[in-house]
């Protein structure tokens, strides 16, 4: 479903675990070993307490739709209308993403709706995580 022209993320040492995870079909977050807070996006220290004792763990992939905007303008890689969404992961952190397998309309995109992660390969190295309405 990916359209040509979409900007390609470039993994860095700090985000490598995340992109390795999506390629393997896992959504990976980090958690502070000192204050136990899960967080995203990837960084080598806890955004809450500043501790550098952090671990990577596999998230459930479940989320709720927190907010979104529907764009009606053509940009490379996207055919309008398309929604840019912020989802709240079951573990707590929020993530900017697209909602797929769902009409891009206010009637279909209901705040707090249950979502699940799905993975779409962009190329050999990069797989993008999107969210779709949870089944069942």
85-89 contacts at long range (C-beta below 8 A, 24 or more positions apart)? 85/109, 85/131, 87/63, 87/115, 87/131, 88/63, 88/64, 89/27, 89/29, 89/38, 89/40, 89/59, 89/60, 89/62, 89/63
Looking up tokens 């993008």 gives 128
Binding site for Zn ion (CB under 5 A): 32, 34-35, 46, 48-49, 51
The CB-of-11 to Zn ion minimum distance in angstroms stands at 24
Toward Zn ion, which CB reaches closer, 59 or 117? Answer: 59
Minimum separation from the CB atom of position 48 to Zn ion (A): 5
Question: Which one, 39 or 82, has the nearer CB to Zn ion?
Answer: 39
Q: How far is the CB of 47 from Zn ion (least distance, A)?
A: 8
CB-nearer residue toward Zn ion: 34 or 88 = 34
């Amino acid at each position: 479903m990916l359209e040509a022209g979409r900007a390609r993320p470039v993994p860095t040492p700090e985000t490598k675990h995340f992109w390795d995870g999506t390629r393997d079909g896992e959504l990976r977050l980090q958690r502070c070993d000192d204050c136990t807070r899960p967080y995203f996006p990837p960084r080598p220290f806890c955004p809450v307490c500043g501790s550098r004792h952090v671990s990577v763990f596999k998230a459930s992939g479940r989320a709720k739709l927190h907010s979104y905007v529907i764009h009606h303008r053509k940009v490379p890689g996207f055919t309008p209308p398309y929604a840019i969404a912020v989802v709240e992961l079951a573990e707590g952190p929020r993530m900017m993403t697209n909602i797929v397998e769902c009409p891009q309309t206010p009637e279909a995109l209901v705040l707090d709706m249950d979502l699940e992660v799905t993975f779409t390969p962009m190329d050999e190295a990069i797989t993008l995580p999107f969210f779709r309405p949870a089944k069942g």
